[in-house]
Chain A
C-alpha cells in the first residue's frame, strides 16, 4: 500500500452515522445562534479606528452602517435557522461559513481577533459529510440512503489538532515548562488584577500560592494541547483527549473567566448523538427555541451553560471509557 492509499484508508475509517451528523447539525446551529456576537456596536467606531487584519478585510473602506450590521445579523440568524432545520443543507452550510467569516471579520477589523475560526469552518467542512441527510427538512422531502463520509470528521479533527499543537510549541518554546516561571499563574493574575475577571473560582484561585500546583497546570496545559495531534490517528483516543480538553476549558473558565464556548460547540461534532438521542423531527424546533432564548438570556449565561453541559457530556463519556476498560479487564480474568 502506498502512503497515499494508507492515507485514503485512514480518512475513510470512522464510527459516525448519518443520525450522529444530522443531530449534531441541529446542535451546532442552535448553539451557534447563542454564541454569535452582536454586531451593531461596530457602527460607533469611526473609520480611523479600524485596523483590518491581513486578508480580505483590508478591502474594507469604512465602518459599516448600523442598518447594514443589523441586516447582517438578520441574515446570519436566518441562515443558521435554515441550517438547523436542514433546508438545502449543502448550500446553506456554505452560506453559514460565508456569513460567519464576514460578520466575525467585520468586528475583528477594530484590531483584535478572537479565535472563533473552528466555529466558522465547521458548516463548510461538514457540508461534505452530508449532515443534512437525517433529521432535516431535506430528509423529509427526499429519503437519502447514501453512505456516511467519514473524511470530513477526520478533517475537522485535524483542524482542531494542528493549531493546538502549534500553540503548545510556542508555549514550550517561550518557557512555559521551565520552573523559573509559572505561566498559568501569571495569566491568572493578569486577568484577575488587570482585567477584573473575578467571577466563579477566581477569588479562590487568588489564594493559591503553591508553585508546584501552578507549574503542574503549566505542564498539563501543554500536554492537553499536544495530545490532540498525538491521538489524531485513533478515534477513541482522540475523543478521550477532546474530553480532557473540555475539562481544560472548564478550568480556564472557572479560574480566568475566559469562555471558549465557540470551540466547545465544534467539539460536539465528535459526540455519538445518534446513540444517545432518538432521531426525531421534534428536534427541528431547537434552532427556533435558540433564537428566542438568545433574545432573552444574556450571551454570557448561554456560554456558561454550553460549557457546563459539555463538561457533563465529557465526564459521562470518560466514565464510560473507564467502565469499558474495567469490563474488558474483568472479562479477561
Chain B
C-alpha cells in the first residue's frame, strides 16, 4: 500500500524537525570556521574540503629527507614512505608529526625514525637525517617555492 506523500505531523514531529534543523545549523556554524583554521578541523563536523588557493596558487607542503650514513654517503627518501601504510594521504599524515621541531625532543620518535630508516636501507648505518619542508605550487611558475622548515637530527 502506498501512503500519501504528505506529512501530517503532530506537534512532536514539528518540534523534532525544528530542533534537528537548529542543531544542524549550530554544528555547521561552529565547525566551519574551525575547519578553516589549519590543524583545528574538528571531527565529527559538517564540513567539506574547500581546496582554497594560497596567494592565488594551489600549494602543497612536501618534505625532502636526506639521510646520512656512517660511510659518508647520503641518500634521499620521501618522508611519507617511512610511515606504515595508510589509505589516507600520507604526506599530510607525515606533516602532522614531522612538520615542526618538537618531535626532535622526543626520544621515542627519534628512535622509531632511525629504526624505519634502517629498515628502508638494510645493512647501512644511519647517522643523521635532514628534513626540509617546502611549500610548492602546481601550475603556477610565478609562485616562488617557500621553505617552511629544515630540521637536522643526529642519531646517536
- A171-B52, A174-B53 known; A113 vs B43 contact (CB < 8 Å): yes
Contact B17 A18 (CB under 8 A): no
Stretch at the interface among B66-74, B88-96, B123-131, B145-153: B88-96
Known: A44-B85, A117-B47. A194 touches B96 (CB 8 A): no
Cβ-based interface call for A45 (8 A) = yes
CB atoms of A163 and B96 under 8 A apart: no
> Which among B3, B14, B62 is the interface contact of A194 at CB below 8 angstroms?
B62
**A181-189, A284-292, A313-321: which one contacts chain B?**
A181-189
C-alpha gap A105/B45 in the complex (Å): 11
Q: Which residues of A contact B20 (CB under 8 A)?
A: 125, 128, 151-152, 155
Q: Which of B17, B42, B52, B84 contacts A55 (CB 8 A)?
A: B42
Q: Is the CB of A51 within 8 A of B96?
A: yes
A62 is an interface residue with CB less than 8 A from chain B: no
Interface residue A170 (Cβ < 8 Å from any Cβ of B): yes
Would B49 and A18 count as touching, CB distance under 8 A? Answer: no
Q: Is A4 an interface residue (CB 8 A)?
A: yes
Task: Mark each residue of chain B from 77 to 109: 1 if its CB lies under 8 Å from any CB of chain A, else 0.
Answer: 000000111111100110111000001001011
Cβ-defined partner of B44 (8 Å) among A51, A105, A114, A186: A105
- Asked if A110 meets B6 with Cβ closer than 8 Å, knowing A4-B18, A7-B18, A117-B45, the reply is no
Cross-chain contact A17 with B3 (CB below 8 angstroms): yes
Write out the residue numbers on chain A whose beta carbons fall within 8 Å of the beta carbon of B92: 111-112
Given A41-B86, A125-B20, 20 new contacts (CB under 8 A): A7-B21, A12-B17, A18-B3, A44-B84, A44-B85, A45-B83, A49-B97, A57-B43, A101-B44, A111-B93, A111-B95, A120-B44, A128-B20, A146-B3, A147-B3, A148-B5, A154-B17, A163-B46, A178-B56, A187-B58
Sample 16 A-B pairs with CB under 8 A, ordered by A number. Answer: A12-B7, A14-B7, A41-B87, A51-B96, A110-B93, A113-B43, A148-B4, A149-B7, A167-B48, A167-B50, A170-B52, A174-B53, A175-B56, A183-B53, A183-B58, A274-B2
